[in-house]
Structures are given as structure tokens and as C-alpha cells.
Amino acid sequence: MALLDKLPDEILSRIIQSVEKRLDLANVRLVNRHLESIAVEVLFSTATLYAHWSTEYSAPTWPVSYNSQVFKNFLEHEVLKRYVKAVTIYTCETHCNHQPVDAWDAVKTAPRHHANWEELYKRITEFPNLRDVSLCFDRHSHDDLASGYGLNYQKSLHTSGFRQRCFKTLIARFDKRITKLAIRHFEGGPKSTESALKNPELLTGVLENLTSLRLNIIHEEIQSFDGDNRNLKDADPHGFWGRFPATFLTPCQQNLKHLALYSDLAVGWYPKLDLRNIHFPNLQTLALGHFIFSHGWQFDWIMLHGSTLEALYFDHCAILYQIGSTIPGGWLDAEGYPVIPPVDYFIHIPSSAHPNLENDKSLSETTTFKSYDTQWHSVFDRFTDALPRLHDFRFGSSLEWDSSIKSRLGDSIGMAVMPWEAESKIENELFQQRYVQYNDWGDYYDTEWWMAGWDEAMMAQAQPPPDCLEQDKTALQALLITLGCSTRLAEPSPLTVRRRTGKIHSRI
């Protein structure tokens, strides 16, 4: 113990910060006064405001055991509140997965937050040394007015309007002390950026001080009249992602060091996410989840941060190798990105006719294909030379992804459950879905083409995924050797789920 006491307080603090269990931290306080003075700062450095439901509105199945008075006592304690540097806020239960219910089922009406919770939510910035804020919403979403065109209207715990009001209320109380912001299940719908842009100076004032930004983006689940999910077209996520860089990333360019961006819809090509006008001169960590790469500039953009980038995580990211479209006159712009058609939320006008695979003998004449030739091994080779400061690289699919969720609106596949703060645990893996195709008539990504009913001319145009497993493996392991990391690769686990059509659809 005498030797331990001789260590500098900074070293002791780092050692104690590695203690994960709060009970163990509490026991460290009992060793002696010196360790207590250090351990107490770590023990009370974080505070959590859990959801506190009003018993007046809660159905019997809803938990009401948590009392936000506990958080209030913490907030109003003159000594303890000064230790708090990070606050996590749950607007839902901690699993963040409340299944939507029939909107007209009064027995299962979602509860309301207790008045004490709503008061404390507005007071979190009273912690004088607060630096880090995490805000967690439920993963299901629906518009305030309608969902699923009224075909199967269900009510989620959080509407779009609720999320916008919570977000606005929170950031209105931020000041320059807040340097880390994480939002779990921020909704990527048309109204999200529109709401933010109504008070651009408010959002900009918060973002320009951040050194760390983490966003898990969800999208409303839409069911069309044809009974299938058409989230990429009908839900119109394109306006959100088109405005996303200027709205959320441009203001924090100068100071941001850590960026984690996840989406429950595959994003990058369609919806298009164009980051070419964004540069972070101090970026150290970048994590991308469910990102689709289709153009060389996307990798060039990452390598432009080579002078500062130290950790890079690709979590369930894929390269687009081919697309198929039946839209007359073509669908792509000069760069090979989809031209976004107008969307009518109440009258479904499909962007392309679904091909009649049984009877249409001229299908090959009305279907066009475009291929993209980038492969992962060439990317890994480039990273080896272009990212000299990189020391941690992960390429794989986190075990926390779950895309086997059945849609709440029909028999098709629902929105993916995303990992949260898990990128550093990714096992390097050459998973099957690292190469994908997109077909316009089905409105989804997949690993291979489903060719039932195709004529020979059409099958001749469709390409299989790149056959380059050994090349990818060699290049990835060479990159890991350069970084001084383990070259062990996890065995690919081809997780699959069954689509409405009955075919096996790889997890994308």
C-alpha cells in the first residue's frame, strides 16, 4: 500500500477509472483517505436520469419503480454535484425497445413522464462541471399524424414531434462547457433537419464547441399499399441526409476529434451522404455503421484525415458492386447516384414498376445495370500507406446488430437494431455482406441477385459479388500487421433472415 500511495494522483486516477463495478469503486474509498479522495471523483463523475413514469397514465405493465428524486438529491448536493462530468438521460426504459401498440388500444396507452422528471430534464446543466451529455430515445418512431398510411396504424412511445421538442429543450440549455454529445435514436426524417434549421444559431452554438459527437440515426418504418416495406423511397430519408453535413457537421469541423455515425438504414449511396465539403483538421477517431461505399472519393475523404486519424471503425459497412433499375429513361445522375423522385406521403406512386418475373419476356430490355469495381483489398492497401497515425482499425459486424426483426407493419423485415458504443469491441471479420447490390424494384440491398424468372439476357448482365476473399484477407492482415494489431480474423457468420417473398435475404 505504501508503494501505491507514492504514485502520482494522475496515475492513481487512471487506475481507479478502469474499475468497472460501482461496488468495487465504493470499496476503494474505504482503503484510506488518500484513495477515497480520488475514488469519490470517479464514483460520482457520471449521473443517470432514468425514465420516471407518472402512475396516473401508466398501464400496469409499465415499470414505475424508479423515482427521479434520487437524481434530484444528487443534483442539489453541494459537494457531489461538483464531481459530475457526464450525464445520461433516458426518455424510455434502458433497453430502448418499446414495441408499438395499436393506437386505439386505450389499455396499452404509453405512459407520460412524471412532472419531476420533466423538471429535472431541464435542469441537468446545473451540474457546474458537466462536459458530456448522452440522450437516449426509443428505437421505434412514427409521425405525430399518421404511420403506414393508415393501413396498420400503430403508436410508438416517441413521436417525431416529441424527439424534436426534447432535443430543442436540451440544447437550449447548453453552453460552452458541453464538449461531448451523444444521441441514441435521433430520427432521420424530413422534419428533423427542418426543425433544427428553424433555430440555426442555437444548434450551431452547441455543435461548434464539440470535440466528440455520436449519433445513431433511426428512420420511420413505412408500409406501402403493395404490402412491402419501402423505407428508402416512401419514407423519404433523402432530404435529411442531404442536409445532414451542413446542419450537423459543418459547425463542429474545427474542434471535433471523435465522430461516430450509425444508421438503421444503409446510407452513403442511397440515401446519398456527401461529405466532400467537410473536413475535420483534428479528427482522431471515426466510426461508421451501416455505410455503403460506392465511389472512390468516399475513401479519399477518409484518407484526407491521415495526419490526425488514430482509430477507424467500419461496422457492417459494404461496397456496392452493382445496381439494377427498371425506371424508364434511367435513374442515375452523372456521378452514378440516384436522382431522387418526388414523394407523396399519401398516394404511393412507385418510382419504378416492379417487374413481372413470371410473364414479362422483355424484362431484359427494360432493365439496366450499372457496376462499381472498387474492392476492399485495394482499400486496405491504400490505408496502409495513407494513414500513418492509425493504430486501431476494426472491420466487421458488431454482435449487437440485429436485422432479423420482423416489421411491425407486415411480413417483411423491419428496421435494424443498432449497436451503441460498441465499435471498439468489433472483431475483425470478412463478413459475407461486405459486398452488396441494390435492386430498384425491390427497394433493398442484398448480397446476391434473386434471379427467379429472369431470361438469359438479363442473367448475363447481373454480376455475382466479387470473388476476392483471399485478396481481401491478405490485404486486411497486412494492414493489421502494420498497425501492430492481431491478425486473427473471426469466422464469418452469414446471418440471414427470410423476406416476405420466401427467399433468404442476407442481413444488410
Q: Which of 266-275, 301-310, 447-456 has the lowest mean pLDDT?
A: 447-456
Q: What pTM was computed for the model?
A: 0.87
Burial of 2 (0-12, 13-18, 19+ CB in 10 A): exposed
- pLDDT, residue 398, reads 94
Decide: 296 and 270 in contact? Cβ < 8 Å: no
Mean pLDDT computed over 344-362: 41
286 versus 460: the higher-pLDDT residue is 286
Extents of the domains making up the chain: 131-143+160-506
Q: Which of 59-68, 84-93, 130-139, 265-274 has the lowest mean pLDDT?
A: 59-68
397 versus 143: the higher-pLDDT residue is 397
CA 188 to chain centre: 10
CA 487 to chain centre: 27
Distance CA 178, CA 180 (A): 6
DSSP character for 247?
Answer: I
In this prediction, residue 492 has a pLDDT band, given cuts at 50, 70 and 90, of confident
Mean pLDDT computed over 367-377: 89
**Statement: residue 502 has pLDDT above 50:** no
- pLDDT, residue 26, reads 73
In this prediction, residue 226 has a pLDDT band, given cuts at 50, 70 and 90, of very low
Distance CA 196, CA 164 (A): 8
Distance CA 100, CA 475 (A): 45
Which of 447, 416, 495, 504 is closest to 319 using CA atoms?
447
Which of 229, 228, 259, 223 is closest to 244 using CA atoms?
259
Between β-strands 101-102 and 154-155, what pairing exists: parallel, antiparallel or unpaired? antiparallel
DSSP β-bridge partners for residue 332: 338
Three-state DSSP class for 170?
helix
**Statement: residue 343 has pLDDT above 50:** no
Distance CA 17, CA 39 (A): 8
Cis previous bond, 350, omega within 30: no
- pLDDT, residue 144, reads 54
Mean pLDDT computed over 16-20: 74
219 versus 480: the higher-pLDDT residue is 480
Mean pLDDT computed over 284-309: 97
CA dihedral sign, ordered 318, 323, 325, 328: positive
- pLDDT, residue 416, reads 83
Distance CA 215, CA 260 (A): 6
Mean pLDDT computed over 227-232: 53
**Statement: residue 99 has pLDDT above 60:** yes
**Statement: residue 267 has pLDDT above 80:** yes
Q: Which residue, chain included where needed, has cell 445495370?
A: 369
Distance CA 104, CA 185 (A): 25
Mean pLDDT computed over 458-468: 91
- pLDDT, residue 358, reads 43
pLDDT digits (tens, 9 = 90+) for 159-209: 888 888 899 899 889 888 899 999 999 988 766 555 555 667 788 889 999
Q: Which of 47-56, 131-140, 262-271 has the lowest mean pLDDT?
A: 47-56
Mean pLDDT, the chain, whole residue set: 81
Distance CA 196, CA 240 (A): 11
Most confidently predicted of 46-60, 325-339, 395-409, 471-485: 471-485
Three-state DSSP class for 135?
strand
Which of 373, 346, 505, 483 is closest to 439 using CA atoms?
505
Q: pLDDT exceeding 70 applies to what percent of the chain? A: 76
In this prediction, residue 506 has a pLDDT band, given cuts at 50, 70 and 90, of very low
Mean pLDDT computed over 317-335: 85
**Statement: residue 491 has pLDDT above 60:** yes
Mean pLDDT computed over 224-234: 53
- pLDDT, residue 327, reads 73
Q: pLDDT exceeding 90 applies to what percent of the chain? A: 46
Three-state DSSP class for 197?
helix
DSSP β-bridge partners for residue 183: 135, 215
Nine-digit cell at 444?
A: 433493398
Decide: 248 and 273 in contact? Cβ < 8 Å: no
In this prediction, residue 233 has a pLDDT band, given cuts at 50, 70 and 90, of low
Nine-digit cell at 442?
A: 425491390
**Statement: residue 273 has pLDDT above 50:** yes
- H or E element at residue 370: strand 368-371
What residues have CB less than 8 Å from 10, skipping those under 6 apart?
none
Q: Which residue, chain included where needed, has cell 425497445?
A: 97
**Statement: residue 352 has pLDDT above 70:** no
Where residue 453 falls (left for φ over 0; alpha for ψ -120 to 50; beta otherwise) is: left
- pLDDT, residue 427, reads 95
Distance CA 75, CA 308 (A): 38
Decide: 120 and 91 in contact? Cβ < 8 Å: no
325 versus 278: the higher-pLDDT residue is 278
DSSP character for 230?
Answer: -
Mean pLDDT computed over 287-300: 97
pLDDT digits (tens, 9 = 90+) for 393-421: 999 999 999 877 666 555 566 778 899 99
Nine-digit cell at 424?
A: 471498439
- pLDDT, residue 41, reads 78
Decide: 368 and 320 in contact? Cβ < 8 Å: no
Q: Give one DSSP letter per residue of 292-361, joined into a string.
A: EE-SHHHHHHHHTTTTT--EEEEES-EEEEEEEE--TT--B-TTSPBPPPP--SSS---SSPPP-TTT-T
